[in-house]
């Protein structure tokens, strides 16, 4: 892995821009700074709740409450 990274040092920047950016955007839009929990299992749970809230908010903005209720009933 170190050899591959040394051969293409720009790949880390690309990864940082494409993979880590969405998580930072979600956390910032939800006014969530550092994780409140400790240990990986707890942090995963905390982020899962954050992602769920973000996705629900987006769905409500896109299709509205009525559209979301219709989709859930289908």
> What's the DSSP call for residue 31?
T
Token readout for 42 is 């707890």
- Which tens digits make up the pLDDT trace of 8-24? 888 888 877 777 677 77
Residue 64, pLDDT score: 93
What value, to the nearest 5°, has the Cα angle with vertex 63 and ends 60 and 68? 70
What value, to the nearest 5°, has the Cα angle with vertex 26 and ends 49 and 10? 125
Q: Which residues in the chain come in under a pLDDT of 50?
A: none
Residue 70, pLDDT score: 92
Range of the domain at 62: 2-73
Count structural domains, the chain.
1
Residue 66, pLDDT score: 93
Whose structure tokens read 């969405």? 22
Residues 6+ apart with CB under 8 A from 27: 33, 50
Residue 65, pLDDT score: 94
């Amino acid at each position: 892995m170190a050899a591959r990274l040394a051969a293409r040092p720009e790949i880390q920047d690309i990864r940082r821009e494409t993979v880590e950016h969405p998580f930072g955007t979600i956390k910032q839009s939800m006014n969530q700074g550092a994780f409140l929990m400790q240990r990986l299992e707890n942090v995963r749970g905390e982020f899962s709740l954050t992602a769920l809230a973000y996705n629900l908010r987006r769905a409500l903005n896109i299709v509205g409450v009525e559209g979301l209720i219709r989709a859930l009933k289908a």
